[in-house]
A and B are shown apart, each in its own frame.
Chain A
Amino acid sequence: MKLLNLETTALVRRGFLKHLLAVPAALALATTSLPTMADSANTTGLAVTKDTVKVGILHSVTGTMAISETGSVQAEKLAIEQINAMGGVLGRKIEYIQEDGASDWPTFAEKSKKLLVNDKVAAVFGCWTSASRKAALPVFEQYNGMLYYPTFYEGLEQSPNVIYTGQEATQQILEGLDWASREKGAKKFYLLGSDYIWPRTSNKIARKHIENKLGAKVVGEEYYPLGHTQFNSVINKIKLKKPDVVFISVVGGSNVAFYKQLKAAGIDMGKEKPLFLTISVTEDEILGIGGENIEGIYASMKYFQSLPNENNTAFVKAFKERWGDDIVIGDVTQAAYLGPWLWKAAVEKAGSFDIDKVRAASPGIELTTAPEGYVRVHENHHLWSKTRVGHAQPDGQYKVVYESSELIEPDPFPEGYQ
């Protein structure tokens, strides 16, 4: 404060005009965002004051991805509000700056730079598609930021500047395939996906696992362009090849078309001939597909809204109170909710907001309060988590029919699967 007074008096001598301009600026500095440089909790000039810390939320709220990313934004805001109600992080209230990635990958990079360089946020919760993460990644590495990324994804990545709160491909896929083989006696698999990196990498892993570990057969592997709306040909092929399991990683609007046409083609998904196992349809997607059109399929992921445990009951209740009764919560929404909590735990363990210290403190961080149950951060920045298989009900919810007995180790660079 003394320093500031000196500065103002010095300015008086230089002239009236400059004085006029300087006073409001100095006042603003003194009241709101005076950086506490000497504070050991913040030695690198992040936007941290005595009472507040700024973080960023970076998702698409406009454009084609808004449909998927809305849930993540809601989850992150809820987590931040809950943390603030509990007293914040290291005694500081979290303030978030929300930026819109607008479903445009270069925009994600631009906004990341804005958050890190101009706003000096202590952490960013954001990105959804792999493409947006890949676009933002160089910015986070260059300016040393911290990104909490919520989506299940294809793996093959491990950045010191990202904590991956969703599952990588092997965690999500292998358990589901094992379950189908063991419980349902599946011998013939048909792989179907949208044509981009995540389904292709996932199916590559699935095929190796089916052929080498399960000793079963892949009778078809097929990709359709993103946004494809006519699936009658592939439905005929499935009828002809008679697989035991159709393993599906179709995304976006194509999903709706696929399941509606499947039902219209006279395939009763409840009969499990074939059995449909998806890794891409969460409760969020079912909202658009319609529960009656997808009843009877199975999904393999780490979280379902119906998970019966106390953490989850409280989470679902809080989420509905905050965002409305009609809302549903999917796998990614839950993973996004973990971001702020994992960051809080790491900051408190490190006793500092400094990115390097938070990074060093992250591996080994545990959450006992996660809606999905206990999770722990691995050395490779992914989470140890369980995988569940859910059975789709007509009301648009999944019923959990299987849960892995152990936490599954994240393995973003799986040997023998590439």
Chain B
Amino acid sequence: MFAEYTAAELTSIFAMQGFAGLILFSVFVLMALGLAIIFGQMGVINMAHGEFMILGAYTTYLISNLFADYLPGIYSSYFFIAMIVAFFVTGALGAFVEWAMIRHLYHRPLDTLLATWGLSLIMQQFYRTVFGAREVGVTLPDWLMGSIAVTDMVEIPINGLFVMGLTIVITVGVALMMQRSHLGKQTRAVVQNRPMAAAVGINTEKVDRLTFALGCGIAGVAGSAFTMIGSTGPTSGQLYIVDTFLVVVFGGAASLLGTVASAFTISQAQSTMEFFLSGSMAKVLTLLVVVGILMLRPQGLFTLKVRR
């Protein structure tokens, strides 16, 4: 199939295709990270994860309008502020949801699944009422659009680079926090042995709330970043939820490293196959491979060894 192209053309296409795979990888990690924290550390299946992401996207939309109206001079930098605000807005809502709903449902995983699914419907209808049923267009600062031309053929999208950079910062930040910080240590202690952690004086309820808020906050940042590459509408969150769960489950629920490894495997498999097959077939094959591996390794790629 490549006979009609020159070697230079093929090299540059494969370079770009490799880069496309890396962007997909970053997107997967970014959207799965928040869910992995909540699912992995707390065992809560958060079906409203996509809607939390879209809350971040709508926050970005509002901030961009605010800047356009009141601070046009520094419009080009609104995106950073929007991401920070998105983190705190979704995090605050996450903390509230944990307090009002989730904490009453621990040890009842199926009920949390239903409750968070209901929550996702409520949030969708809320967006529809407030922002209208139509998608909104988020205007991006000029420096985020366009691409860097490396050669005549190879062009690297700037927003792709931006998403990759953001993913690295957030992943490293979360890893450091879980390993080094006081909250991280407490979280891991609660995951490994809840009664014992409580017995040594850790406020497990507070840890739960902060963990849930953190997961939601990261979802908000992801949603904010995805305004660059996707749509912002009441039901846009649904576009991400399946891939997100796929990544988290395949990676092994309790392991951040697993999430990263799984995102890498799935994204590379998918983007390679997408190049040789049609998009739908690539998806089917990817899912088949994932199902096959999960049959052999139901716990996912990586697991945390915990004494039960």
B residues neighboring A (CB under 8 Å): 5, 9, 13, 16-17, 19-20, 23-24, 27, 125, 128, 132-139, 145-147, 149, 153, 155, 157-160, 226, 228-236, 238-240, 271, 274-275, 278-280, 282-283
| Among listed A165-173, A249-257, A377-385, interface-contacting one | A249-257
Give chain B residues whose Cβ lies under 8 Å from the Cβ of A105. none
6 additional A-B pairs beyond A256-B135, A289-B137, beta carbons within 8 Å, are A67-B133, A227-B239, A233-B274, A240-B13, A266-B146, A292-B139
Shortest distance between the CB of B54 and any CB in chain A (Å): 11
Question: How far is A385 from B153 in the complex, measured between Cα atoms in Å?
Answer: 43
Instruction: Determine if A253 and B236 form an interchain contact, defined as CB atoms under 8 angstroms apart.
Output: yes
Known contacts A223-B278, A253-B239; is-contact A236 B230 (Cβ 8 Å): no
Give chain A residues whose Cβ lies under 8 Å from the Cβ of B153. 239
Give chain A residues whose Cβ lies under 8 Å from the Cβ of B136. 287-288
Query: Within the complex, which residue of B157, B236, B238, B279 is in contact with A234, where a contact is CB–CB below 8 Å?
Result: B279
Instruction: Determine if B238 and A64 form an interchain contact, defined as CB atoms under 8 angstroms apart.
Output: yes
Interface secondary structure of A, over-half rule: helix
Question: How far is A239 from B156 in the complex, measured between Cα atoms in Å?
Answer: 13
Smallest CB gap from A226: residue in B: B239
Question: How far is A229 from B228 in the complex, measured between Cα atoms in Å?
Answer: 11
Instruction: Determine if B275 and A236 form an interchain contact, defined as CB atoms under 8 angstroms apart.
Output: yes
Instruction: Determine if A288 and B135 form an interchain contact, defined as CB atoms under 8 angstroms apart.
Output: yes
Query: Within the complex, which residue of A67, A261, A266 is in contact with B135, where a contact is CB–CB below 8 Å?
Result: A67
Instruction: Determine if A195 and B157 form an interchain contact, defined as CB atoms under 8 angstroms apart.
Output: no
Give chain A residues whose Cβ lies under 8 Å from the Cβ of B145. 263-264
Question: How far is A50 from B282 in the complex, measured between Cα atoms in Å?
Answer: 61
Give chain A residues whose Cβ lies under 8 Å from the Cβ of B27. 230
Question: How far is A72 from B16 in the complex, measured between Cα atoms in Å?
Answer: 42
Query: Within the complex, which residue of B16, B134, B155, B228 is in contact with A288, where a contact is CB–CB below 8 Å?
Result: B134
Scoring A residues 216 to 233 as 1 if CB is less than 8 Å from chain B, else 0, what string do you get?
Answer: 000001111101111011
A408 part of interface (Cβ distance < 8 Å): no
Give chain A residues whose Cβ lies under 8 Å from the Cβ of B24. 230, 232
A residues neighboring B (CB under 8 Å): 61-64, 66-67, 70, 195, 221-225, 227-230, 232-237, 239-240, 253, 255-257, 260-261, 263-266, 284-285, 287-293
Shortest distance between the CB of A241 and any CB in chain B (Å): 9
Instruction: Determine if B275 and A266 form an interchain contact, defined as CB atoms under 8 angstroms apart.
Output: no
Give chain A residues whose Cβ lies under 8 Å from the Cβ of B275. 233, 236-237
Query: Within the complex, which residue of B134, B229, B240 is in contact with A287, where a contact is CB–CB below 8 Å?
Result: B134
The 7 closest A-B pairs by CB, nearest first: A288-B135, A256-B231, A232-B20, A224-B279, A266-B147, A264-B157, A233-B274
Known contacts A67-B134, A70-B133, A253-B230; is-contact A233 B279 (Cβ 8 Å): yes
Give chain B residues whose Cβ lies under 8 Å from the Cβ of A223. 278-280
Give chain A residues whose Cβ lies under 8 Å from the Cβ of B278. 221-224
Shortest distance between the CB of A83 and any CB in chain B (Å): 25
Instruction: Determine if A266 and B279 form an interchain contact, defined as CB atoms under 8 angstroms apart.
Output: no
A-B CB contact pairs (8 Å), 14 listed: A64-B235, A223-B280, A224-B279, A225-B283, A232-B157, A233-B20, A234-B274, A237-B275, A264-B228, A265-B157, A266-B149, A266-B155, A289-B135, A289-B137
Instruction: Determine if B235 and A63 form an interchain contact, defined as CB atoms under 8 angstroms apart.
Output: yes
Shortest distance between the CB of A266 and any CB in chain B (Å): 4
Known contacts A234-B279, A240-B9, A290-B138; is-contact A61 B133 (Cβ 8 Å): yes
Instruction: Determine if B230 and A287 form an interchain contact, defined as CB atoms under 8 angstroms apart.
Output: no
Smallest CB gap from A70: residue in B: B133
Question: How far is A237 from B2 in the complex, measured between Cα atoms in Å?
Answer: 12
Instruction: Determine if B283 and A236 form an interchain contact, defined as CB atoms under 8 angstroms apart.
Output: no
Question: How far is A264 from B136 in the complex, measured between Cα atoms in Å?
Answer: 19
Smallest CB gap from B233: residue in A: A67
Instruction: Determine if A195 and B279 form an interchain contact, defined as CB atoms under 8 angstroms apart.
Output: yes
Question: How far is A3 from B17 in the complex, measured between Cα atoms in Å?
Answer: 81
Instruction: Determine if A229 and B230 form an interchain contact, defined as CB atoms under 8 angstroms apart.
Output: yes
Give chain A residues whose Cβ lies under 8 Å from the Cβ of B132. 70
Question: How far is A265 from B23 in the complex, measured between Cα atoms in Å?
Answer: 12
